[in-house]
Structure 1
Amino acid sequence: MAGRQRLAALAAVAVLASGLTGCGGGDVAPATPSAGSSASSASPTTATPTGPAKPTDRSPHGVLLSAELAMQTARRAKVSYRLGADAGSGPLFWAPKTALQIKRSTPGDAEQLIVVDTVAYQGGDAATAARNGGKHWERFTVPPDPDGHKEVPYAGLIDLLNPVEALAAATADGAEASFVGEEKYEDSTVEHYRVTTTAEKYAAAQTALTQARRDNLRAALAPGGSISLTVDLWLNDKDQLVRLQRTGNGDSGRADDSVLYSDPAGPLLSAQAPAETDTVDTGVRTVSPLAR
């Protein structure tokens, strides 16, 4: 029932938006990035989608629904994140296929992480080359899910970065949204919204994910058993998400994540697989669901 209500609400936002665009021809839908496991990149077209016009419902819930639609339309952005002790930046594609190219700014098992659909690469550093005869990258896949479907490597990291998932949680049943106010952000003015929810509700709102991914997401959002979760969202004048912050307190831990989004739908964003000659295939391996 909740899934049908969400689809109906987003459809209503889309109808309202299309009604505001007038009687002329609509924008041509952008081509999608190629992110198959055998593809060398996830490259967008040169056209940048402008997105739908804003709907007339400017209540906090209505604005956040509009933001969800705007980020679904964008499909990609550059992210800069801090998730606990882990930090990094790079392009993220969340639709129609998953692609990611992250350069870490904190110590980890690998300096860079790349995901192209269901194939992952890690390395790009001297340590990886030293243990692989001069090759800088290790290619691998992860075990399939219980139903035999191919899993996305580093899915836990991707779910924490995905802006559409954050906005789905912000507009889900039981989430309480409020408008904090207008604020200066870099060279522009943004609107700040705050949502009170729980890690359980946040994860449950991700109906497109497998149960295992929802369970991992819930655990990642509730370190130390935190019950409440505050989600702060900053939107630009196109209702696109530019900053996300999640905070929560538990008996023995605290959630404190921050993600910045820039260049949504950017035509030059790409997630490039390394050259085959600089890659060693390491087969199937299990990675941390949080890639930390």
Structure 2
Amino acid sequence: MSALLAAGLLAACGSGGGSTAAKGDQAAGGASPSVRAGATTGGAPTGAAPATGSGAPGTAPATAPGSTAAPIPGLAEKAPKELLLASATVMQQAGSAKLTMTGTSAEAGGTGAYSWKAPAAFELSLNTPEGPGKLLVTADQLYLGVDEETAAGFGGKHWLKLDTKSAGQGAPGGEDAGSLTAMLQTLNPAVQLTANALGGKLSKVGSEQVGGASTVHLRSELPVEALVAGMPGLSDQLKQLVTATLKKNRPSVTTDFWINGGGELVQQSSDNVGNGSKEPVTVGYTALGSAPQVTAPAAGDVMDFADMLK
């Protein structure tokens, strides 16, 4: 049961056909298929407007409407490494954001909130080909939301709990916990920006409009080991499991970043987020520093996966 639930959630934003976002038409300065679609979920922008080309020489990218970030002088002229590190600082200070996720198929997508400051917390509502699903992370616990039919078999409980500390130790649900941890870490903007700045093969694609703001579009190719090494707070066993999970797809991660004039990461698109799919996942970040608080489900509404097997 856990594997089926996790598979539906993990694959939701990577399902469907189409070319890999970080390659192909983006190499010419265009946006990925999901970006070009300009889709929205729940009123929040998930995609970019058509690319505007390289823009006027020396023109700094603008912050998004409603952003409180102060423009960083000379941001557009910074080398990719400096730009990524500057954005990592901004995102680390922000600490949280609302998220929108899109895959390459029209039915795949979701919205949620993420606080990446310790203790990290994450909430995501997803649409999958099998129906809606929910994922919630607090402290060292992962919760998979189940539908009413499944809940009836759990004594009316709507959440299935997995312990990330069990990952890599052969405990029930450990592999699922490792996959979900890999996805969570690759969606952490501070982790992604810093790891790619320090170890990625970097290039500057151009200037593009995303979410109502002019942004600098950067691309990075990073070995999986280098990304995992930059993930904080993981045990050695969990790092091994996350590395193995990501390398099931490919030995590296290609990620595109769109950064506005205040150094905010507006959007990222990655071809390897540990969800079992080689298709890209595009994530939009809004409401920086003011995302809704994520709390654990009520204890009486939770079924422990290990208990379920007894």
Category of TM-score, reference length = shorter chain: 0.5 to 0.7
Which of 93, 96, 99 is equivalent to 2:121? 99
SS of residue paired to 1:70: helix
| 1:210 maps to 2:235 | yes
Which structure 1 residue ranges, 5 or more long, are not aligned?
1-48, 287-292
State the Cα distance separating 1:144 from its structure 2 match: 4.5
Match runs of 1:1-292 below 5 Å: 54=72, 58-82=78-102, 87-107=109-129, 111-123=133-145, 125-139=147-161, 141-144=163-166, 154-173=180-199, 175-206=200-231, 208-224=233-249, 226-247=250-271, 254=278, 256-266=280-290, 268-277=291-300, 279-282=301-304, 284=306
Question: Contact 1:51/1:73 (CA < 8 Å) preserved in 2?
Answer: no
Greater relative contact order (Cα < 8 A, sep 6+): 2
Shift of the 133–208 alpha-carbon distance from structure 1 to 2, 3 Å rule, reads closer
1:227 offset after TM fit, Å? Answer: 4.0
Amino acid at match of 2:111: S
| Deviation larger for 187-196 or 200-209 | 200-209
Asked whether the equivalents of residues 113 and 123 of structure 1 are also in contact (C-alpha less than 8 Å), the reply is yes
Indicate conservation of the 8 Å contact 2:201/2:221, yes or no. yes
Letter in 2 for 1:189: S
Distance 1:56 1:213, change over 3 A: farther
Deviates more, 1:87-96 or 1:77-86: 77-86
**Matches of 1:55 and 1:62, distance apart in 2:** 13
Structure 1 CA distance, aligned partners of 2:79 and 2:113?
A: 31
CA contact under 8 A between 1:177 and 1:196: conserved in structure 2?
yes
Root-mean-square deviation over aligned CA pairs: 3.6
Q: Report the secondary structure of 2:183's partner residue.
A: helix
How far did residue 276 of structure 1 move? 4.5
CA contact (8 A) 2:72 2:262 kept: yes
- The count of aligned residue pairs is 228
Residues 254-291 of structure 1, C-alpha deviations (whole Å, 9 max, x = no match): 4533222222112x5121333445x14426579xxxxx
Question: How much does 1:103 deviate?
Answer: 1.1
Task: Determine if contact 1:121/1:139 at 8 Å carries over to the other structure.
Answer: yes
Q: Alpha-carbon deviations, 1:179-199, whole Å to 9, x = none? A: 221101132211101113222
Q: Residues 209-250 of structure 1, C-alpha deviation per residue, up to 9 Å, x if partnerless?
A: 3333333333344345x34542210012221112111237xx
What SS is found at the alignment partner of 2:271?
strand
Q: Which amino acid aligns with 2:72?
A: K
Partner Cα separation in structure 2 for residue 191 and residue 244 of structure 1: 12
* Distance of aligned partners of 1:146 and 1:244 in 2 relative to their CA distance in 1, 3 Å threshold: closer
Instruction: Indicate conservation of the 8 Å contact 1:223/1:255, yes or no.
Output: no
Deviation digits for residues 27-53 of structure 1 (CA, Å, limit 9, x no counterpart): xxxxxxxxxxxxxxxxxxxxxx96687
- Displacement after TM superposition at 1:111 (Å): 2.0
Q: 1:209 to 1:187 in 2, by over 3 A?
A: same
Q: Return the TM-score normalized by structure 2.
A: 0.61
| C-alpha distance in structure 2 between counterparts of 1:106 and 1:263, whole Å | 25
Identity of aligned residues (%): 26
CA distance in 2 between counterparts of 1:113 and 1:197 reads 27
Secondary structure in structure 1 of the residue aligned to 2:128 = coil
- TM-score with structure 1 setting the length: 0.64
Q: Give a deviation string over 1:87-129, Cα, whole Å, max 9, x none.
A: 4321111112111111121156982122221233332531233
Question: What whole-Å deviation, never above 9, does each CA across 1:131-173 have from its counterpart, x for those lacking one?
Answer: 13333334453445789xxx99532221121111211221113
Q: Secondary structure at the match of 1:111?
A: strand
The whole-number CA distance in structure 2 between the counterparts of 1:247 and 1:146 is: 24
